[in-house]
Structure 1
């Protein structure tokens, strides 16, 4: 069987299974299973495929057609232009989370220090370190398996020497006082009662502890707001990704946490996606 025919077969099977962008995903699986890059898939379309590669390709297509995430099959997902290893112990990085990175980069001073709470694959914190070689950071996650993945990604992208990875509970964050210029997080924010609204491949294959939060999806966000105040330097920033309908509640929680300059940024789909606030600088005056 030729490369072209195998791609057509894969695209049809994925489309029949209801996979969005079936042809695009067929090409990604072909790159993974056949060991060809995007150019070779075109220039070598008439090439015969070895039987073991056909078996490998069809197995990958069957996994995707059954609903397994593409990133779990290939073992990686691109984020902010870099490849990140992912496993079932981490969330699959999503394009909308790049907004959290962009907003954090704008507020991270030269030589600054940041923390990424609930780092998962490390895509946010590692990207900050890669984009800003002058800065150092701390990556925190409750999952030892996720931290192992994040450590691999940090080493692969050559930023490990500027990052410290620790295991910790997002609901009881304790990172010391006045240490960070920026704290950012993509925390669990889906309410448990909304589980059936989540895409089946996400709720079946991605870690529930990284998706769901009690108190209408706000328990982790409120804990982070409470813990960020003492950990931030005066004038430092807290940035939180959240659900499209949670902007008003997150802004209210930031205000109750004595943050200033509170605002919400929208993603490319026009949805409220990232809310942020600044730790108030207290100015004291000495009267002679």
Structure 2
């Protein structure tokens, strides 16, 4: 008996092999994983089913879309931007060109808040410069007794934060407001927690930033004047006014800014127990202080 001829179309395993080679040549990190995730995205499958269905034949429309998305990744466009989502604290958050892509190191802000503040006690927090809303939405989901305000100056980014709050079922405990974190409309002594991942990269550091970050992420969410400290100083000033006595301030900052941020907090004269925590890479990443 003659063996059955193989289908003429491209199989999923063929796409994965060719895309992996293409992305490897382009210098993309984890090229095989990228190829699998792009396939999962286009085919509406999870990664495991893509592996299990390696012999699946791809129709021309799917191949055209996969080729287009692979080409985008090969030019350096971040995978999260192509997929339109990024995992943060084990949840998928929508991202767009108006928002930063959530980073694993930012989870340190959330972890620190959850560790230091009472879980069952109702409290009110503000997230200054909320972007996609990943910090504030996660706090609301992890602590059902907490309520929060997400402040974001970019209208398109604010819409993404609102969408994430709705789709993750946190909208009923969050308010979203378009506002500049440097002029945040927060009442005096109104917050138990103020958290912020503001712009903190100095303009002189632009050549040191990864090319795909500079090319594809919003510069207004990355760069800050005064050696990268202008927005951090504004957040400190907002916290000095808006936090209740005993309230907690959490700031993400650059790996080399810990000393400067501690100096800003000392100069404000209303904070005590200032400390800086390190991320998983051992870099100073999050500074906390309590209002005295």
Question: Normalised by the size of structure 1, how large is the TM-score?
Answer: 0.96
What's the CA shift for 1:46? 0.9
Residue 135 of structure 1 pairs with residue 146 of structure 2: yes
**How far does residue 104 in structure 1 lie from its aligned partner after superposition?**
1.4
The equivalent of 1:69 in structure 2 is: 78
Cα distance in 1 for partners of 2:182, 2:237 equals 9
Once the two structures are superposed, residues 33-87 of structure 1 have per-residue CA deviations (whole angstroms, 9 ceiling, x without a partner) of 2222122112111111111111111110001111111111111000000000000
Distance in 1 of aligned mates of 2:152 and 2:40? 32
Which segment is superposed worse, 26-35 or 113-122?
26-35
Q: Secondary structure at the match of 1:187?
A: coil
The aligned runs of 1:171-182 (5 Å cut-off) are 171-182=182-193
Contact 1:34-1:57 within 8 A present in 2 as well: no
Corresponding position of 1:286 = none
SS where residue 244 of structure 2 aligns? strand
Question: Does the 8 Å contact 1:174/1:227 carry over to 2?
Answer: no
Question: For residues 125 and 12 of structure 1, what CA distance do their matches in structure 2 show?
Answer: 39
Structure 2 unaligned segments of length 5 or more: list them.
1-9
Three-state SS of the structure 1 residue aligned to 2:45 is coil
Q: Could you tell me which residue of structure 2 aligns to residue 200 of structure 1?
A: 211
Q: Distance in 1 between matches of 2:168 and 2:46?
A: 21
Structure 1 residue 112 corresponds to structure 2 residue 102: no
Match for residue 256 of structure 1?
Answer: 267
CA distance in 2, matches of 1:233, 1:47: 59
SS of the residue aligned with 1:171? helix
Q: What is aligned with 2:30?
A: 21
Match of 1:284 in 2: none
Please report how far the alpha carbon of residue 177 of structure 1 lies from its aligned counterpart in structure 2 after TM superposition.
Answer: 1.1
Q: Does 1:267 align with 2:276?
A: no
Mapped to 1, the partners of 2:52 and 2:72 lie a distance apart of: 27
CA deviations 1:5-46 (Å, max 9, x no partner) are 111111111111111111111111111122221221121111
Say yes or no: does 1:276 pair with 2:288: yes
Q: CA RMSD in A?
A: 0.9
| SS of residue matched to 1:137 | strand
* Aligned residues of 1:108 and 1:181 also touching (Cα < 8 A): no
SS for the counterpart of 2:226 is: helix
Question: What's the offset of the Cα at 1:88?
Answer: 0.3
1:245 to 256, 263, 278: 256
The CA distance in 1 between the partners of 2:221 and 2:60, in whole Å, is 39
**Contact 1:116 1:184 (C-alpha < 8 Å) held by counterparts:** yes
CA distance in structure 1 between the partners assigned to 2:51 and 2:114 by the alignment = 38
Q: What displacement does 1:106 show?
A: 2.0
Structure 1 residues not aligned, in runs of 5+: 281-288
Counterpart in the other structure of 2:13: 4
d(CA) in 2 for partners of 1:10 and 1:257?
A: 53
Q: What do residues 177-205 of structure 1 show as CA deviations (whole Å, max 9, x unaligned)?
A: 11111100000000011111111111111
Matched, 1:44 2:53: yes
What TM-score does the superposition give when structure 2 sets the normalisation length? 0.94
Q: Which of 180, 201, 221 is matched with 1:210 structurally? A: 221
Separation in 2, partners of 1:247, 1:27 = 39
